[in-house]
Structure 1
């Protein structure tokens, strides 16, 4: 599909890529990884033609179609509703639809054989391009990305940047290009939408290249990993976990080769020194010197996985109960978030607060942190609790005239400069970077400074809202290590499942306006929740958990007798649905035959009316078939 040969790209005196090579094959699902600054986004921009390489070539078939999602799309503006924006993906179908409407209108006043033939050709092409189902497809993709039916009628300009990015992703997916290039596609998605996107990309027929710091997402989707490092592109034939194992093996071999070569070099140097003093051996010494000069040196292995070398400090231990929530009710004009909800955060808890956007995660986090007091009920902080709250809005509290290091020194005077430099290095501020003023930093860099500040606070309770945003995989690993060795209490909101699985020992989620608790890791929660969903489908009317329960218990399997009754009812519903589909298809065929009838064909008004009815029947068939598939899946689950 795409061949990258001897690619060199220079920025000033620095070569971002130096004679790099890579061949992308049809159907490959590729994760493009590497530390920040190694040129991943630059490479995608060269593939789509936005940047030109200094030398080398990127070649591809002329008819190859590319779909490129990048953060620049946040600036896209439109006053049209998001359904219309998403359907802009169907350029040819939209053009044909407009032409068909114009021809039908023209036939009302001007009837000619030529116009009828044109209309027939346009309708045939429109049907061949599956034009009657494009609106259904757009609704399906937007729903998967978290938009409600009401949302589809809202103007794009009324949504926040993150939600606008979802619309642009929907548009690109609807284009169904030969190859998708996705730069941090999960940045603005919540967990349900990320899981939907995973399933979509796994089923996608074309090739995919993903730049992402979300290890869990990469493991679920990709079957190839390409590492951008030191100007080269190295291919690994597996997902991210495979890459880690394979790279460790390659590095072990390289480390052994390096040690052996260094031993040989030292031996040769000793011989040269011994022979150089003897006139009879001088020629041999010169020969060995030349041999050493020509030797292709094996590089030692660089440590790309720095470990945390600072420790959290807090001056006092908290009491057993860190935060107690009693009878919390929180409402907004358009939505009820919590209703008489209760929960307790205990000393040593490391809680992941998860769920879809709009369910109240950040609101609950602000209540816990004391940043939101507009609610009914009681939120009580326990004895000796000292907290620090990290959220994106806290970037505003940074002192713009301060240098980065000075900002941390003024906030955490008990830490040494070496410790603060170590923390800043973990968040990509190395060397003289620490002397940059806050005012010259980008939004992402400011976010990393604010997170570094949070980790230096004299606090035994950390409240973290999306702390992994703007961090690369190495920095996420540093944050994981830091929280793992933190002896206090943590509650965190994040959509990075690898991060959550490695830091959390409890899962909180909001359901039925209550705080539900799962006592385990995120991976264990996912298994439990998947099983629970299957059981809920099998037994739709499940008993509600008792009010005093703090954690949900899995729904009991239905008795075999109930299961038999359930299957009987579902199969009856399936049969009815099959009959409805057959009737609709028959109606659509009759309408198609009518449109070929001279009486209809020669009457523009009747032709337009019949054509509209035909399109309606086609849409109804599509929707009903989708329901049939869902029902069939339920039956298979019960029968298994």
Structure 2
């Protein structure tokens, strides 16, 4: 509890004249912490806290005994208390620090609040009392977000003292090496474990849409809750009005005559006076007697409400919503036919696209995207870039696609060494700025070293010279007062190295009038004529479902053509990296054990050497594959592939799990590789870096673009403009 003395309870406890003042300061936070407790229960907790504070001030504990509530002289790990409660049932339910709500572990960090761990992730956050009260008042309308916190995963601290300010309307790219905590921060934000102003809406695209009978277009439309609520109310009112029976004037007159006769018979004219006497006897004043108990809407009131609904629907342009949703879906690759299909008919990748479409349609105040381009083909990525450039609310994007971040980012958040730095501009500007900053820091470090050495030389030279004693003492004092000398941290580099291979004479790999179909009514290719050699650096592009992966399988011999001929060199050895290569690794084994099992008969040094060529060295090679990050698993997969000593590489989306530095390492290794390369990728930077030839898969054919990627991008943008 020593940590509490650093927070609002210690710094401001003299301001709390009574428990009500304490409730006003932290009651809102506690109620958000545990929504199962009533306001009275939270007030009782604040009273107990106030008693403790007064007790610490006066040297007493206000008769709080048995050790259940006391001031501590050291930080308290609440997760241990929760565990003890579950295991031994020895902590009473009256303990104000514990809650029966299932929150994982709860612990107090360097700030005086309870913090949650979600899937082993936790955040300790500092709150400003004034800002908390302002937010609770409902007067805060700002859409800016400020976060000051520490973030941990289990016992490992991921982010230390982060100070993040997300300004409304800015588009932030969030970058850094794999496994540093970027995705964890997004999850804590979206699940409410980091406190931000309560009126700000957040949407995190992380889970695919559930497959059911909902039509794809309706799935997007239904996420606009306000529009759906108004349409439902309008439907109910119209049904109510249409179901009300109408009566003829003659019928009404007859019925009125009958009513008057019945009222006269029961002396109804005297009833109001009798009722007034009874109500007065029961304490109802004349004013109270005139109040309504449960006002009902008249037909006029219903009509007025219906008019209000129509005005609200018109203001939000509800009639244009289906067209807007259709445009978003089309941009993400959904054909008109697909938009009419149920969500259960789509694969996981397409459901993720639906989730992205729902987010773009909803337009939350804060949009969180985690690797949004992984699920998209190049055409959809170009459309998304254009769409997000016009995005008006705040956006935070984790991506390793450098060109994508260049297109959409106004700012970059850089996570490194547990710290987050903010840079203005897109990724290229950030990269240049950071490089220059590191150069300046290195120069400053070298100057400090040189200055220290100069002082030390003077001190050593005249240490025993009585005439220079005062100068020596002065230099010693200067040396002692200098700030600590901290070397500029050098970020570890990643290197890939593919094996040397024998050069083969052409023809190497050739498709001659090749056709293919899975069934005669589902023809994939007709009369394909393409070829590749040892110098080839070919990128295959095309929309999802056009047949790119099928073409790769034909090239490597996994599928046989239904017509035409596939020529391959007799000494051709193809190394194939598939999209699911990482998922096929043995997760319960270490990298060394897996290599020994797949390629027996070699010594461990050979396995270590192959793994080391892809940055899997030291203890990493001895850890279970399941404990490695996505990027590290990809490196292991590349090492396994290269144990076959291939002289031709076919790579299907190899960058999905890699960070930018590792993608650059892959590109450099492919440039140095002496064999041929055929690549399917959506990473524009990698394509521009290595590819000399572009194959476009479209409409059952494969054609070569002489203008390369630039020409393909121009064609796609022209198609998108025509469809808008």
Give the TM-score of the pair, scaled to structure 2.
Answer: 0.67
Mapped contact 1:323–1:380 kept (Cα < 8 A): yes
Structure 2 residues not aligned, in runs of 5+ = 1-142, 246-298
Q: Using the alignment, how far apart are the partners of 1:431 and 1:274 within structure 2? A: 45
**What pairs up with 1:140-289 in 2 under 5 angstroms?**
140-276=327-463, 288-289=475-476
SS at match of 2:655: coil
Could you say if the C-alpha distance between residues 382 and 249 of structure 1 is closer, same or farther in structure 2, counting changes exceeding 3 Å?
same
Alignment counterpart, residue 104 of structure 1, candidates 234, 238, 247: 238
Mapped contact 1:224–1:239 kept (Cα < 8 A): yes
Could you say if the C-alpha distance between residues 13 and 288 of structure 1 is closer, same or farther in structure 2, counting changes exceeding 3 Å?
farther
Could you say if the C-alpha distance between residues 75 and 293 of structure 1 is closer, same or farther in structure 2, counting changes exceeding 3 Å?
farther
Within the alignment, does 1:355 sit opposite 2:542 as a pair?
yes
What residue number does 2:686 align with? Answer: 499
Q: Using the alignment, how far apart are the partners of 2:178 and 2:631 within structure 1? A: 12
Could you say if the C-alpha distance between residues 6 and 180 of structure 1 is closer, same or farther in structure 2, counting changes exceeding 3 Å?
closer
Q: Using the alignment, how far apart are the partners of 2:661 and 2:310 within structure 1? A: 54
Alignment counterpart, residue 95 of structure 1, candidates 229, 234, 250: 229
What residue number does 1:453 align with? Answer: 640
Cα drift, residue 123 of structure 1: 1.8
SS at match of 2:395: strand
**What pairs up with 1:320-469 in 2 under 5 angstroms?**
320-333=506-519, 335-373=522-560, 375-395=562-582, 398-399=585-586, 402-408=589-595, 411=599, 416=606, 419-425=609-615, 429=616, 431-438=618-625, 446-469=633-656
- Length, aligned pairs only: 525
Cα drift, residue 82 of structure 1: 1.9
Q: Using the alignment, how far apart are the partners of 1:87 and 1:299 within structure 2? A: 55
Q: Using the alignment, how far apart are the partners of 1:421 and 1:290 within structure 2? A: 52
Alignment counterpart, residue 65 of structure 1, candidates 185, 201, 207: 201
What residue number does 1:47 align with? Answer: 189
Cα deviation code 1:447-469 (max 9, x no counterpart): 44223322443111001111111
Could you say if the C-alpha distance between residues 524 and 107 of structure 1 is closer, same or farther in structure 2, counting changes exceeding 3 Å?
closer
SS at match of 1:64: coil
SS at match of 2:389: helix
Mapped contact 1:216–1:498 kept (Cα < 8 A): yes
Could you say if the C-alpha distance between residues 259 and 418 of structure 1 is closer, same or farther in structure 2, counting changes exceeding 3 Å?
farther
Give the TM-score of the pair, scaled to structure 1.
Answer: 0.75
Cα drift, residue 271 of structure 1: 3.4
Alignment counterpart, residue 306 of structure 2, candidates 96, 113, 119: 119
The CA RMSD measured in Å over matched residues stands at: 2.9
SS at match of 2:488: coil
Mapped contact 1:389–1:463 kept (Cα < 8 A): yes
SS at match of 2:508: strand
Structure 1 residues not aligned, in runs of 5+ = 53-57, 538-626, 631-640
Cα drift, residue 158 of structure 1: 2.5
Cα deviation code 1:409-428 (max 9, x no counterpart): 66495984663343342xxx
Cα drift, residue 515 of structure 1: 1.2
Could you say if the C-alpha distance between residues 443 and 422 of structure 1 is closer, same or farther in structure 2, counting changes exceeding 3 Å?
closer
- Greater mean alpha carbon deviation, residues 403-412 or residues 467-476: 403-412
Q: Using the alignment, how far apart are the partners of 1:306 and 1:137 within structure 2? A: 45
Cα drift, residue 163 of structure 1: 0.9
What residue number does 2:146 align with? Answer: 4
Cα deviation code 1:94-133 (max 9, x no counterpart): 1111111111111122173333222222222222221112
Cα drift, residue 300 of structure 1: 3.1
Could you say if the C-alpha distance between residues 531 and 18 of structure 1 is closer, same or farther in structure 2, counting changes exceeding 3 Å?
closer
Q: Using the alignment, how far apart are the partners of 1:158 and 1:445 within structure 2? A: 33
Mapped contact 1:317–1:385 kept (Cα < 8 A): no
Could you say if the C-alpha distance between residues 400 and 374 of structure 1 is closer, same or farther in structure 2, counting changes exceeding 3 Å?
farther
Higher radius of gyration, 1 or 2: 2
Cα deviation code 1:514-568 (max 9, x no counterpart): 21012454245434x369869x97xxxxxxxxxxxxxxxxxxxxxxxxxxxxxxx
Could you say if the C-alpha distance between residues 49 and 401 of structure 1 is closer, same or farther in structure 2, counting changes exceeding 3 Å?
closer
